[in-house]
Each structure stands twice: as C-alpha cells, then as structure tokens.
Structure 1
C-alpha cells in the first residue's frame, strides 16, 4: 500500500505486490505494443524474497525487456545467481551497492542496477 502512495506522482507508474511470477507471466501474454514500448524505456524495481527472483521471473521479466532493472536483494548468493541469469538475457550489471535499510540490525541489502544491452 505504501509503494502505491509513493508512486502516486509518477505518471504511469504502479506497484505490483502480487506474486510476481504470475504477474509477469500474465503480462507477457496480454501486454499491448504501446505498453511494451513504454517498458522498453522504463525501469522495473524488483525486490524478491530472500530466495531471489528465480529463473521463471528473470526469464519473463527479461522477455518483457525493460531498459533497466533495480534489483534489491537480501541474499548475496541469490543475487549472484539471478544477475548471472539476467546477463544471459543481455543485461549488464552497472553497479551494486550495499545499503543499510534496516538500521540497528545486522542486515544489509544489496541494490544492483542492471541495464539492457542496447545491441539486443
């Protein structure tokens, strides 16, 4: 609910808080050409559970072709696995930063910026 409020001033932006695997699969089947073009210039923020996005979500999201993906991860092993899979789809990891999103705890999040290879 807070994500939707935070995005309210961004025209065309929306928060999808459902099961991302189901959402990406359905979107691949129903996306209009106009929305596909918008997504090709847009950014997706992906904040999966500790287990990572997984192969199906990475494959579906890459097939939708957003220009960039901001991936928020709490498990570096899952992040490495998913970044490798995104690389196979033509996304390069531009940068990764550790961010303390949970002050006063031992938890750190890694935030990675992925950009789609222009040649693809």
Structure 2
C-alpha cells in the first residue's frame, strides 16, 4: 500500500519498491499528475497498471482520489 503526499512517491521510492518484487502495489493518489509520473517509473521497472478507480471524495471541489493497482508485467 502506497499513499504518498500530493507530490507523489517519486522515482527513488518507486524504484526501491519495485526492487522488493511485491505481487501487487496498491497506490492511493490525491493528484493525478503525480500518479502519472509515478506510473511511468513503475512501468519502467516492470509493473503495469491493472486497475484504476477514481473517487470524488470531496464533492464541489476539484480534488479527487485515485486508487491504482500495479502488478508485475
């Protein structure tokens, strides 16, 4: 389970996490742009996005929550 700050986990953390070879990475993101950046790093390290859900946790605002699942490709 990965629930980073709004800026995302970052490349270093993503690389360290994939080096542990978990069967699934569940990523909770409050910023879609940060999730996209981290998705690129995770994909480059052998993980593919297998599921993505978006939740409007804060109605009437621009904030959303995303829950993504990544599995080894």
In the superposition, the TM-score normalised over structure 1's length comes to 0.56
Q: Which runs of 4+ in 1 moved over 3 A?
A: none
Partner of residue 57 from structure 1, selected from 6, 13, 27: 13
Q: Report the number of matched residues.
A: 72
Q: Which has the higher strand share?
A: 2
Mark the runs of 5 or more structure 1 residues left unpaired by the alignment. 1-44
Calculate the aligned-residue CA RMSD, in Å: 1.2
Higher RCO, 1 vs 2 (CA within 8 Å, ≥6 residues apart) = 2
User: C-alpha displacement at 1:97, in angstroms?
Assistant: 1.1
Is 1:76 aligned to residue 32 of structure 2?
yes
Q: Which has the higher helix share?
A: 1
User: C-alpha displacement at 1:105, in angstroms?
Assistant: 5.0
Mark the runs of 5 or more structure 2 residues left unpaired by the alignment. none
In the superposition, the TM-score normalised over structure 2's length comes to 0.90
Q: Which residue of the partner structure matches residue 46 of structure 1?
A: 2
